[in-house]
A and B are shown apart, each in its own frame.
Chain A
Amino acid sequence: MATETTDRTEAGGNLPGAVSVSDVFDDQLFVHLGLVVSVLLMSMPLVLAVIMSTQTSTEVYQVTNIGPGSAGLSNYETALSEYNLMQYMINSFVMATVIVVGKVALSLLAALALVYYRLPYERAIFMFILLTLLIPVPVRIVPLFQLMADLGWANTLLSITGPYIASATAVFLFRQHFMSIPASLVENARLDGVGPLQFLFKVLIPMSKGMIAGVSVITFIYAWNQYLWPLIVISDQSKQVIQVGIKFLQGASQSGLTQWGLIMAGAVIALLPPLVVLYALHRPLLETFALQQK
């Protein structure tokens, strides 16, 4: 962190070298103030959304009314039951869970092969996996859609999970992590004649818990955020995911008035799971991101 003796804002206007206790205090006060204002600005829309999700339509239409509304949690109940958000939430949960489990499993296996097997063309194989970073869904969207139809996967869970369960990022991260595991441990396993799968389950996975948690958070948040692909490939509303569900909710109106309180409730509902996951697992997430940089 900054050294206290010399820090000073330029706006302070003090003579060079003249540092007093009050200077340092004012300086930190300025930093704290900046942080509080920044965080408030970033969070304000969300706080307002939460407040307005408790208001009735009449209250919402009084623009400057930012007190807690009299609707209580009724907007949430209406959104979940009448507008089917409960169903969309379940669909999103199933989708995100399948993607997380599938991606972690497949990537662990691939990383095991890349790091612990003597492979011909190892570098080429790794590049072949990494290069897929360049082809996100929009670059292959038309043929992928046709492929789903040909496979009979359109409008099913398979279509919104299958294309996502292999990942360059996850293989990359697990590979990096495996390579940092001490050689002596690997040597022991080899001398004991431990098979590859046993090595994976008894040594690698226990030593990669943080990394697995980190990759899971990244994947969960990524999967939960999916919008374009489900919008295209899922045509049956009852099978739709929550992000697209919000779009359906936006049409909600009562006697010509858009029900913004209800829509804000839906937005808050759709945000909660990734937010909870982020905060429950922020430590491994930050550690995983730190590794991604190396």
Chain B
Amino acid sequence: MAEYTKPYDSKLQAGALLLPTFVVLVAFLYYPAVETFRLSFHQTLLLGTKQTFVGVANYVGLLTSEAYRTSVIISFAFAAAVVVGTLLVSLFVSYLLFEVEAWESSYLLVAIWPYALPTAVAATILTFMLHPNLGIVTHYLEALTGLSLDWFTSGPQAFLVVAIVAIWKQLGYNIIFLVAALNNVPKTLTESAQLDGVGRLTMLYRVYVPLISPTLVFLVVMNTIYAFFGTFPLVDLMTSGGPNNATNLLIFKLYRDAFAFNSLGKASAESVILFVIVSVLMYLQLRFSDSHTHYGA
């Protein structure tokens, strides 16, 4: 980072400049987060106006509930599918963008458009395209494979369809970062491998992936956060958690417990658990990256 001097030293002015940000962060982020933690040890009645301290009862209730444990497992599987799927497809497209010798910027522009795709729009469009009876994709897929597809009634199929929509929406963001990372790899580091006449896929796997691993880790973290927190519209618009709870992700269950069933204490405990899960995953991913990534020159 460049050297910079600090021309001002009035603490009062600095405080005034920071105040608006602090007020918003404390009032709308820190305070509700702490309050979530407090509420998670209470049982609430009458829309939260009456609260009774119940200790860890909400947590015990959740962890012993079959439905909640299923939701945890489904959410982990979903996050894994979304993170791996998104990175594989994005890496494939980004590598092609990196290797192409003409019209790279035009290709890049048409490849990143899903970054602007709102999750609810993605859900709406693919719900129709993959509709069991009316979907044109379903129609040709069935004609091609001879299978009879219906994700409205089949749990695994619904899980797959929602994951595909989640991946589709996330491609633009990932491609933006991967193309930038590939273009930042110093040419001197890859020349010798190329002179050895190594094939293209081997190059990607052996040379580029290790060199861009900091970006890959960053994207794993961002995609994990997205898979756990950002996929609510997909479930709400496409499956409502069904069929048979096959797509009942933690974020959707939390919403229903809080705002359909008014179990505010229980829902708060779910928020805390969700926070712990994502924090631990982020910590592990970053720890792993510290010991395994190879930083380029």
B8 partner, pick from A117, A140, A244, A263, beta carbons under 8 A: A117
User: Can you list, as one digit per residue, whether each of A244-261 has a CB less than 8 Å from chain B (1) or not (0)?
Assistant: 101100100000000010
Chain A minimum-CB-distance residue to B275 = A139
Min CB gap A191→B, angstroms = 9
Min CB gap A186→B, angstroms = 5
A146: interface (CB < 8 Å):
yes
Known: A117-B10, A264-B128. A125 touches B218 (CB 8 A): no
User: Can you list, as one digit per residue, whether each of B211-237 has a CB less than 8 Å from chain A (1) or not (0)?
Assistant: 000010010000001000100110011
A83: interface (CB < 8 Å):
no
Known: A1-B99, A138-B271, A267-B125. A196 touches B8 (CB 8 A): yes
| Contact, CB under 8 Å: A271 / B2 | no
Query: Is the interface on chain A under 10, 10 to 19, 20 to 34, or 35 or more residues?
Result: 35 or more
User: Can you list, as one digit per residue, whether each of A162-181 has a CB less than 8 Å from chain B (1) or not (0)?
Assistant: 11011000010000001111
Which residues does chain B contribute within 8 Å of A17, judged by CB atoms? 197
B92: interface (CB < 8 Å):
yes
Which residues does chain A contribute within 8 Å of B124, judged by CB atoms? 246, 250, 263-264, 266-267
User: Can you list, as one digit per residue, whether each of A109-122 has a CB less than 8 Å from chain B (1) or not (0)?
Assistant: 11011111111100
B29: interface (CB < 8 Å):
yes
Which residues does chain A contribute within 8 Å of B147, judged by CB atoms? none
| Contact, CB under 8 Å: B134 / A61 | yes
| Contact, CB under 8 Å: A279 / B109 | yes
| Contact, CB under 8 Å: A293 / B4 | no
A171 partner, pick from B21, B36, B104, B201, beta carbons under 8 A: B21
Query: Is the interface on chain B under 10, 10 to 19, 20 to 34, or 35 or more residues?
Result: 35 or more
| Contact, CB under 8 Å: B255 / A270 | no
Complex CA distance for A46 and B13, rounded to whole angstroms = 50
Min CB gap A286→B, angstroms = 7
Residue of B14, B107, B118, B119 most packed against chain A (CB within 10 A):
B118
Complex CA distance for A195 and B114, rounded to whole angstroms = 43
| Contact, CB under 8 Å: B113 / A247 | no
Which residues does chain B contribute within 8 Å of A189, judged by CB atoms? 7
B200: interface (CB < 8 Å):
yes
Complex CA distance for A119 and B16, rounded to whole angstroms = 13
| Contact, CB under 8 Å: B129 / A6 | no
| Contact, CB under 8 Å: A289 / B180 | yes
Query: Which one of A68-76, A205-213, A222-230 is at the B interface?
Result: A222-230
Known: A45-B125, A118-B8, A132-B29. A166 touches B21 (CB 8 A): yes
| Contact, CB under 8 Å: B194 / A143 | no
| Contact, CB under 8 Å: B24 / A163 | yes
Which residues does chain A contribute within 8 Å of B13, judged by CB atoms? 113, 117, 196
Known: A6-B197, A38-B92, A42-B168. A106 touches B6 (CB 8 A): no
| Contact, CB under 8 Å: A190 / B128 | no
A202: interface (CB < 8 Å):
no
| Contact, CB under 8 Å: B121 / A246 | yes
B5 partner, pick from A2, A52, A183, A225, beta carbons under 8 A: A183
Known: A132-B25, A271-B116, A293-B215. A63 touches B134 (CB 8 A): yes
A7: interface (CB < 8 Å):
yes
A134: interface (CB < 8 Å):
yes
B61: interface (CB < 8 Å):
no
| Contact, CB under 8 Å: A106 / B24 | yes
Complex CA distance for A282 and B32, rounded to whole angstroms = 35
| Contact, CB under 8 Å: A138 / B24 | no
| Contact, CB under 8 Å: A45 / B129 | yes
Residue of B21, B22, B255, B279 most packed against chain A (CB within 10 A):
B21
Min CB gap B225→A, angstroms = 7
| Contact, CB under 8 Å: B93 / A38 | yes
| Contact, CB under 8 Å: B3 / A250 | no
| Contact, CB under 8 Å: B21 / A43 | no
A293 partner, pick from B134, B181, B267, beta carbons under 8 A: B181
Min CB gap A172→B, angstroms = 12
Complex CA distance for A293 and B214, rounded to whole angstroms = 9
A139 partner, pick from B14, B107, B274, beta carbons under 8 A: B274
Which residues does chain A contribute within 8 Å of B8, judged by CB atoms? 116-118, 196
| Contact, CB under 8 Å: B177 / A134 | no
| Contact, CB under 8 Å: B120 / A243 | yes
| Contact, CB under 8 Å: A278 / B115 | yes
Known: A49-B129, A186-B7. A221 touches B115 (CB 8 A): yes
User: Can you list, as one digit per residue, whether each of B122-139 has a CB less than 8 Å from chain A (1) or not (0)?
Assistant: 001110110101111101
| Contact, CB under 8 Å: B279 / A134 | yes
Which residues does chain A contribute within 8 Å of B39, judged by CB atoms? 142-143
Q: Which B residues are within 8 Å of any A CB, using their own CB? A: 1-11, 13-15, 17-18, 20-25, 27-33, 35-36, 39, 48, 92-93, 96-102, 104, 107, 109-121, 124-126, 128-129, 131, 133-137, 139, 168, 171, 176-177, 180-181, 191, 194-195, 197, 199-202, 215, 218, 225, 229, 232-233, 236-237, 251, 254-255, 258-259, 264, 267-268, 271-272, 274-275, 278-279, 282
- Beyond contacts A141-B36, A163-B28: 4 other A-B pairs, Cβ-Cβ < 8 A, are A10-B199, A107-B21, A134-B282, A228-B232
Show 14 A/B contacts (Cβ-Cβ < 8 Å), sorted by A: A2-B194, A7-B99, A7-B200, A10-B200, A28-B102, A63-B139, A113-B18, A142-B36, A166-B25, A171-B21, A189-B7, A228-B233, A243-B119, A271-B121
